[in-house]
Every structure is written in structure tokens, then in C-alpha cells.
Structure 1
Amino acid sequence: MSQAEQRLPESTATLAALAGHYRTVRLDTETLCRPLALEDYGVQGMADVSPPKWHLAHTAWFFERFVLRPYAHAYRVFHARYDELFNSYYQTVGACWPRERRGVLSRPTVGEVMDYRAQVDAAMAALLDAVPGSAREEVAARTLLGIHHEQQHQELLLADIQYNFALNPLRPAYREAPARSGDKAPAWRWQDYAGGLRDIGHAGAGFAYDNEMPRHAVYLRGYRLASRLVTGGEYLEFMRDDGYRRHGLWLADGWAKVRREGWTAPLYWEWREGAWWRMGLGGLEPLDLEEPVCHISFYEADAYARWRGCRLPTEAEWEAAAAGLEIAGQFREAGCYRPAVAVAAPVEGPAQMFGAAWEWTQSVYAPYPGFRPLAGSLGEYNGQFMCNQMVLRGGSCATPRAHIRASYRNFFYPGDRWPFTGIRLAGDAP
């Protein structure tokens, strides 16, 4: 994301629209927390998961630290120690409370965190209503970045709640699960794509992160993508064929992870009463074999693809196939929080490219040619993580619809399973 890419027209109407967008997204975060009991707000099931209370406070801290403190000169910080407690990883602005110890913070209380959010929201409303002329462009850019940052945390919030609840032997439900469609996934087929030079990456109007730029040309050999995501039933075939016990299917690091962690099935799958069940945000339910398999690590996705005699797509292949497709799917707004069963793939492209499960690619998360991070502290947002992680594409059933685009690059470590991640097969052109 360059500053130029985020420039907004310096008009009152545009700033008013941005202020409205800000209010909507902030309210969305708090609405997502309404099904929680007070005791749920402080739970941290593992180091990679953050308590809901921390998400609420950190997203407020982002606006306080990067928008209000530099540009709202009459603003007074809510609490001096929050700068350490709710800083995630920005080393250039000071100390960070250890990530793995976020769950020990019984204070501030949930009520105090909500008061913090209210103060930040009031100050942001006042700033956006009367931004000094010389700061309008930068305030708008930083506010827009903060809005998208909060939308990222909305999906993380749901993923973290699901992980925390799955550890509880009572198997609580975050909210009642919607009824299943009863649909059957269509047989998958290959969709072929010609090789040649293709442009990928963000360019033009609209928000994008800096890691999506600059737009550049890549050469692709002819390739093919599966017409839909891999289903739970298809993944079960891999399991029944001893997929978790055949070391030849696995990358060395993945095989070590399987043995160390004792993996025998995707995260949240449980064998009970002679059948497979799945723990989701709707509680423990019988596994729907027609839905896309979800909460899969890169190692598992890669091993499954090898077992099928296929591979995972590169991120360039995925983006070239997604370019021009309608961004349609079952996003967070649907309130389902599990990938929907595929419908027949459209003629113009594969099904489930957006809003089902984040699709692992075989591409390492690295800078594009000519990448330049933002100047200053905000340059730590993406660039510092470009090592040892893999790229995912497409968004999920927990991603806000307004947050996704074809050029969006998500990234996780290859062993991560708690995000909403799935599998699309790829292969070389025949």
C-alpha cells in the first residue's frame, strides 16, 4: 500500500463517507462480541490466539496511536500503559506485551476496554469532521488502513473464539448454527488456462495493502485449476488411505509436525459414536462431507494434493484465474461461519474462488519485485513478515465482503490450522 494509492479527494463528502464507514466497521466488531459471556473475553487457548478483549482494545489502540496522537492535537491518551499492553508488534513505537501472555491480563476490564473504544470513536468522529487541510490526505489514508486492519481482526476474532471454545469439554456454541442446505457438491473438473505473460498485483483506484504492489508481469506456463474446493468427504478418502501415516506424501517439516502433534485428521474433527463430527462456531455438529474441508494446514493441503497426483496453485496462477471474476460467495455477513457447499462451477471460471475458505498456494510470502514498504512505523505492517510463511488467496466465510479483492495476499505459517483455510487442486496443462 503506497500513500498515493490511498489518496482520497479532499472533499467534505468523501471524509463524511469515510467517517460513516469507520462507524459501521467499529460497530461490526462489537456486534461480533455480543454472543460472548463475560468470562469468554479473556480466554487465550494458545500463543497464536488472542483473547476477544485484546482484539477490541488493540483495534482501538491502532487508531489512537497512528491517527489520533499524530493529528488530533488536543487528544489525551486513555491510559499510558495501554501503549504497551495493546501494541501487537510495532517495535518502532515502543515495547509490546508478550503475545503468549495476553490471556493473563484480567485488567483492564471488559467495561474499561469498551470505554476506551468509545473515547477513541468520539475523538475520531471529531477529527474526521474537522481535519486540518494539510493533514486531510494522510488522515484519510491512515483511517482507511485502520478500517481494513479492524476487518482483519474481525475474522481473527471469530477464528480465535472457535479455537478457544473447541478446547472446552462442554463444546459451547458461539451462536446457533444455521441449518444446512442439504445440497450435494457437483463433481469437480479441471478448468484450463493458457500460459504467457500475465499482470498481477494491485493497481488503480481502491484500497490495497502495500504487499499487493507493485503490479508486475509474471510468466505462467499453461495450467489448470479444480472447479471447486476439496470437500470433507474427499479429504476423508485421503485419511482412509493412511494419508497421515505415509511419510512419502509429506514435506519433511510437515511429517515432523504430524508426528510431533499427533495429527490424524483436520483440526476440529472428532470421531464420536461411529461417525465424524466437527466443532465449529455453532458447536459440535455431524460432519457435512459435502462442505469444503476447512482448518487445514499448508502441510496437509500439500500432502493431499500429492496423494491426488496434483499440486497446489501458485498465487500468480490463482490471481490470473480470479481476475475479472465477480467477488461473490458466502462471506462473514451471511453469519454461517462454515464454507457453503459448492454449486456447479460457472462457465467463466471456477466456483468458490471467494468467500468459502482461504486457499493455500505453493507460493512463499515474499515481496513483489520493486516492493517498498510504507515509511515509518506503518512499514512494519506487512514487510517484516515476509519470511517462512505461505500465501493464501480468496477470503473465507469469516471474511468481510468489503475487505477482499483478487489481489489480496493473506499469509500464515505452513503449520497453522486455526484460520479458515482449505484446498483447491491445481496441475500443469496436459
Structure 2
Amino acid sequence: MLSSSYRDIRKYTEDLCRPLQTEDYVVQPIVDVSPPKWHLGHTTWFFETFILKDHLDGYQVFNENFNYVFNSYYESVGARVIRTNRGNLSRPTVQEVYQYRQYVDLAMEEIFKDADLAGEICDLLLIGLNHEQQHQELLLTDIKYILGHNPLFPPYEAQIPLKKPEPKGDQAGVLTISEGLYEIGYKGKEFCFDNELNNHFVFLKDFSISRGLISNGEYLEFINAGGYSNFKFWHSEGWEWAKNQYNPAPLYWHKIDGEWFNYTLTGLKPLDLEETLCHINFYEAHAFAEWRGKRLPTEFEWEVAADQLQWGERWEWTESAYLPYPGYKKADGAIGEYNGKFMVNQMVLRGASVATPKNHSRKTYRNFFHPDLKWQFTGIRLAE
């Protein structure tokens, strides 16, 4: 039932924050990382703005200023605090944000008393729940960035185990896919995001794709071979990025007294060469593939091969720009701003990560980020 899903998802968001100290809730080290307090407020604002205000008679907003504070990018809903200033919000306090969540949750219980929820409300609830789950993954990656850039490298110490995909056969070697027409996109009856629609056919030539993801040890070979100092492996824009890196390595790698260390959610550890590579951007993924004489798969190749691969440990960079599928149409109103407005200057990632909620791990799911970003749990799978 939607009511029990609502309660479980809302509780899990707060469970993710439970290990934090009050000071941790407010930090915003870079523009892409939002303070945990803002995530708690924004996901609550979503339910208040799109469900309670329009569908619960007599509802009074918790605080008139919160629409300005917790609106993310919805132009049609009004003005908002610019993203770079989210870390300047010492007020509202953490305590007030939790009070806001409780206030909205109680009001949502009134919505759930209607045994026959209208179709529009059900649709909005599904979007809201999936939206909060997306923010749970963002919350975890943002917490890691906040703690991982604290000079003391404090551990996260949560009692929430990161999931790993079930073993699925031998991960060595490559999988070969024959030339042909293949159907792409979501075609089930459960929830999906609009960017997974409409399902359509694409023609693919013969290709092969690695069964396994690149490890830390394999990427270290690229570093030791001078990969960051050889322009031949990089896109022009990527090369400009690489030349300006003070620490040319994956995010959270630190060379201390000649030895590599890696910050993890359990603290700073010696680099595990066997562990799957994590926290690299598209520029780095492309350069590594070039160095190996291979390439990244397109998102269509990845989806066609997915049923025969083990995936779900890292979001995997593809060679595909984030663009609409044939026949894509944005929804009316603010909900139409959810995906379509971002279909420019971003690259598609496929799969899922150890931080991804379970029902967001489907082979048609299209994640997307700018090519320079690396704070998500991202990795590399090669193709040729």
C-alpha cells in the first residue's frame, strides 16, 4: 500500500541522517553537494507543495518561507534560494526541519484515510516517493563528500549496509552481442520515469562488452602510466579539466608518504586494489578506455547486454548524451520540469550503485550527470 511505502521511505531518509552530528547537517563543501538538512526539507516540501496544498481541504503550510528555502529548480512554483547558498541556511534549524517533516507526515495521514485515492493523487504520490528515494542516494553521497572532505576523515558509522548485487556468473572476459534490431525503453506496468519512455527499436552493430567492472588496481596502472599527463587519451574539454587537477586520481584517493589511501564510509583505509573502482567522472572514464584501446558502451548497448551482466554496484558511464527518446513529451505544469529540462550537456549512466534504493535498479533507468562530476558511486565498464 502507498501509505506503508510512504512511512517506510520517510523513515529510511531519517535513518540515513541518524549518525550525523548537528554540525554535519549544514555543510555544503561544493555547489553539487547539498546539506543533509536541505534534503530533509526539500523532500518534505515536495509532498506539501504538490499534494497537500491542492488536495487536503483546509491545509495550512508549515512556514510560508519554506517554499523559497526548499524549492530546488521548479520555476513554475516560485522563487528559490540559489543552489550555492543552501549551505548558508543556518536557519531554519535542524530541529525545525524535523518538526516540518512531522507536520507534513501527520497531514499526509489525512490523505491516506481516503481508501479510494484519486488517480492524480496516486500518480503524485508515486513520483514523490521515487523522488525521495532519489534523494536518499544523493543524501548518502553528499554525506560521504562532507565527511570525506573533513580533514579528520571521520567515519559515517551508520548501521545501514550498502547493498551489493547478487553474484551472477563469471565476471571475467567479455560478452559478445550480435548485430540486429533491439527494443529499448521501459514497457512494463509499474512506475517508471518519463525519460525511460517511449520504448523503441535501435539498430546495433556487433559489439562486445566486459563482464566485469574496472578495479582500483587496473585504474592505478593508468595513473602510473602517466594517463593524466597524456593529452592523447582525453577529449579536449576533459584535457582542460585534467590539467587543472591538484590530485589526478579518483575522488577520495590520497597519496600519503608514497602510499595510496582511500576514504570510505568507514573512514580512511589503505587502497584495496581488488575493489571495484569508484568516484570517477566521464572524462576519466573515457580517457581510461582510450588508454586501454577500447571505449565506453552506449546506453543502448548497455541495456541490451544488461540481462547477461552483473550490475548494480556502480553507476556506469556510457558514451551516450542524455537526450529524449522518440515521442518523448514533457508533462504539463511543474512535474514536467522533473527530467526534460536537463536534456542538454549531460551524459547517461546506467545500472545502479550500492547506494541505490532497490526499486530504482532497473535496466531501463537513465541516470545523468555533467561529465566533470564524480561524487556519485560511478565506475567503468568497457566495450569494443
Taking structure 2 as the reference length, the TM-score comes to 0.96
Unaligned runs of 5+ in 2: none
Match of residue 366 from structure 1 = 323
Match of residue 124 from structure 2 = 142
The correspondence of residues 233-248 of structure 1 with structure 2, limited to 5 A, is 233-248=217-232
Shift of residue 73, structure 1, vs aligned partner: 2.0
Native 8 Å contact 2:19 2:158 kept in 1: no
Native 8 Å contact 1:225 1:350 kept in 2: no
- Indicate yes or no: 2:207 matched with 1:223: yes
The correspondence of residues 104-183 of structure 1 with structure 2, limited to 5 A, is 104-130=88-114, 136-175=118-157
- Indicate yes or no: 2:335 matched with 1:378: yes
SS in 2 for 1:27: helix
Shift of residue 188, structure 1, vs aligned partner: 2.9
Residue 45 of structure 1 aligns with an amino acid whose one-letter code is P
Residue 210 of structure 1 aligns with an amino acid whose one-letter code is D
**50, 56, 63: which one aligns with 1:72:** 56
Unaligned runs of 5+ in 1: 1-16, 326-348
The correspondence of residues 6-405 of structure 1 with structure 2, limited to 5 A, is 17-130=1-114, 136-175=118-157, 188-322=172-306, 325=307, 349-351=308-310, 353-354=311-312, 356-405=313-362
Which runs of at least 4 in structure 1 moved beyond 6 Å after TM superposition?
176-179
Native 8 Å contact 2:182 2:204 kept in 1: yes
- 1:275-330 per-residue CA deviation (whole Å, 9 max, x = no partner) reads 211012111011111111100000000000000110000000111112xx3xxxxx
Native 8 Å contact 1:43 1:164 kept in 2: yes
Residue 205 of structure 2 aligns with an amino acid whose one-letter code is R
Q: CA RMSD in A?
A: 1.8
For 2:188 and 2:251, how far apart are their aligned partners in 1?
39
Shift of residue 404, structure 1, vs aligned partner: 1.8
For 1:246 and 1:188, how far apart are their aligned partners in 2?
29
* Count of residues in correspondence between the two structures: 379
Shift of residue 263, structure 1, vs aligned partner: 4.3
| Identity between Structure 1 and Structure 2 (%) | 50
Match of residue 343 from structure 1 = none
For 1:221 and 1:129, how far apart are their aligned partners in 2?
54
